[in-house]
Amino acid sequence: ELKDMINDLKKMIKTLQATVDAANKREEALTQERDNLKEEIDLLRKKLFGTSSEKRTIDIPGQLNFFNEAELEQDPEAVKAEDLEALLPEKTAKKRKARATDAERFKGVPVEKKYLELSEEEKLCPACGTPLKEIGEEFVRRELVFVPAKLKVYEYYSKSYECPQCRLQDIPVIKKGKDGRSHMLYGMASAGTVAWVMYQKFCNGLPYYRQEKDWKQYGVEITRATMANWVIRNSKAFFLPMYEYFHRKLLERGFAMADETPLQVLHEPERRAQTKSYMWLFRSGEDGGPPIILYKYSETRAGDNAVDFLHGFKGYLMCDGYSGYNKVPDAKRTACWAHIRRYLTDAIPKGKALDYTQPSVQGMLYINQLFHLEDVIRSKYSSFDAIKKARLEKEKPVVEGFLSWLGQQSPIRGGRMDKAVTYIQNRRSYLSTYLEDGRCSFSNNLSENAIRPFTVGRKNWLFCDTPNGAQASAIVYTMVEMAKANGVNVYHYLTYLLEKLPDDRMSDDELELLAPWNETVKAEIERRANGSNQSYVNCQGAPTTEK
């Protein structure tokens, strides 16, 4: 009986121990889940209330020692020839940007002198009554005057002429006046008027319903539907050939960048209004050629959209971590180090930014150093071969050290550090691709900066009504951003294109003469901008015209 009791007690102990172990595991899992949720709350609070800047300083105490240890552990030969400190460039203090002078701020604005005169009584000497003699002038103050836009309606009439002699012989000869071209724009609007509607929405983010109110202030009623019709029909007819030409020029380049952002289109066939559509951005890389920026609307985010748009492209493709770009067959992916930094920044626990025992802080030290080196190399060298050589000499050891550090990480599953490590590991094969050519981009920041005007405008006009409107938005945004990137006045370039009326019958050589990087076009746009400043000046620096 005692032996049986002992055996029963032993079984009971095992059962109780198993129950305790299971409870401990549950408690550990719940604790980890709680910690993960706390991390998520901290991250959301940081995104909601914290700074959005990604700038980080590399002047942190102990950072240099950390790099020495990492390099020696990864590859002692990498720092055998010279100390890591000697490899690093000298840190120079950034000069504060000088305050712009009035001459710089008002450059190109016509100046009209206003004189403060004396009255006729005051022009007499108070002592003897002798008329005073002018001896000079003195500057008092400077004012910037805004002259509002004006509207005009031009009614064109063709004058007819007849030969009186031929009429007597029953052979009428009649001639009518012509201006050499037909009015081909859609709607009763001049090229400048249509360009102004486009400029207001796609450059200043002013929705059609606000422009509708603005037109009423000038004394005319132009509905938002009318303005939308102007933009859709004229962009499809006259901007689309230029858009397709820019597309062909982009596919000839060896370096490209891409990004995408959600878009809501209300009346897509067989889709709910709440369904997400997407606006894609494709642009040229940092290869020294003229910048090319293209927007593309699609109903989905499927990678096939990138495949179709980049069909025929062969070269390096810089983009974010979206796997859809992997479908582009002949493109060699490069990883965006800014996205990697973003994931590690989010993984830093609250209040632990200077705690070097935190793996996320250690990873940030590597990446901050790479960004610093990239800035110094880009500012020091202009030759792409020199940039490649400097990258291999100074950045490659840091990249290798980062990859060695990455292989040693084993974060707790489900945490932010686990997400960061997983994200980086999935793109490990692309991290060193940018070292192969000095023209490769280090990050995808250029694409994100190029797509930002669309995201800012989207906050104002919120959605597109139809797919035709979304496609027109992509085309007009392309023309606007192409003008900005090539340094020409946006409004005057849109007007210039609507006056030249490019069509699909033009050859590439003819379309090249209308491109914003063409020196003749730049000179013409500058002449128009300076000419319009002689009459009207917008306080934001954008010229206005009589319509």
**Identity of the amino acid at 272:** R
Q: What is the mean pLDDT of residues 382-389?
A: 92
What is the per-residue pLDDT for 181?
A: 59
Alpha-carbon span 300 to 138, nearest angstrom: 66
Q: Chain-wide mean pLDDT for the chain?
A: 84
CA atoms within 13 A on the CB side of 495: 23
The predicted pLDDT at position 297 comes to 95
Give CA angle at 293 (288, 297), nearest 5°: 155
**What are the tokens at 186?**
């859609």
pLDDT in the model for residue 524? 94
Q: Give the percent of the chain with pLDDT over 90.
A: 48
3-state secondary structure of 356: coil
Lowest mean pLDDT segment, chosen from 143-147, 209-213, 313-317, 449-453: 143-147
pLDDT of residue 55: 62
What is residue 183's predicted lDDT score, i.e. its pLDDT? 57
Return the higher-pLDDT residue of 42 and 438.
Answer: 438
pTM confidence score: 0.79
Residue whose structure tokens are 């945004």: 477
Instruction: Write down the pLDDT at residue 126.
Output: 86
SS3 percent helix, strand, coil of the chain, rounded to 5, is 50, 10, 40
**Span of 144-158, 285-299, 370-384, 472-486 with lowest mean pLDDT:** 144-158
Give the integer Cα–Cα distance in Å for 160 and 153. Answer: 22
End-to-end Cα spacing for the chain: 110
Sign of the CA dihedral running 475, 481, 487, 493: positive
Please give the Cα distance from 9 to 349 (Å, whole number): 47
Beta strands in 321-464 (DSSP E): 331-334
- 86-136 pLDDT, tens digit per residue, is 444 444 556 677 777 777 777 777 888 888 888 888 888 888 888 888 888
Q: What is the pLDDT of residues 421-453, one digit of tens each?
A: 999 999 998 999 999 999 999 999 999 999 999
Say how far apart CA 233 and CA 227 lie, in whole Å.
Answer: 10
- Residues 531 and 65: their CA atoms lie apart, in Å, by 60
Longest CA span, the chain: 147
Read off the pLDDT of residues 180-195 as tens digits, 9 standing for 90 and up. Answer: 655 557 767 888 999 9
Q: What six digits make up the tokens of 251?
A: 């596919």
